[in-house]
Amino acid sequence: MHTASFESIVKTILIILLFYFGFKIFIKWFGPRILKYFLNKIGNKVQQQFNQPPNPAANKKGDVVIDKKPKKGRGSNKNVGEYIDYEEID
């Protein structure tokens, strides 16, 4: 049966701690920069879409556009089956 030596256990724990704290420091330093980069990228896309003129082919001059509210979902269906009156048995 193999047994782990004290040195190998300590070495493994130190490696795990090194990766853990290294990752924490990396996220602390570079996390805000990465987040700022992605937020700027998304902001630029939104700004480009906002600055684009509306599509002139969609609504030509003289066209009539009728917007309707969608019908509400299924209403109460009265035909759900027959009602069965249950009695409690003692």
- The two tokens of residue 44 are 């630029």
Per-residue pLDDT band for 20 (boundaries 50, 70, 90) equals very high
Rounded to two decimals, the pTM is 0.43
69 or 80, which is more confident:
69
* CB 22, CB 28: distance < 8 Å: no
* Residue 1 pLDDT greater than 80, yes or no: no
Rounded Cα gap, residues 13 and 19, in angstroms: 10
**59-76 pLDDT, tens digit each:** 677 777 777 877 776 666
Name every residue whose Cβ is closer than 8 Å to that of residue 59 and which is 6 or more positions away in sequence: 65
Amino acid at 86: Y
Give the model's pLDDT for residue 32: 94
Give the model's pLDDT for residue 54: 66
**Could you state, in order of their start, the residue ranges of all structural domains in the chain?**
1-55
**Angle (CA) 86 88 76, round 5°:** 30
Q: Can you tell me whether residue 63 is helix, strand or coil?
A: coil
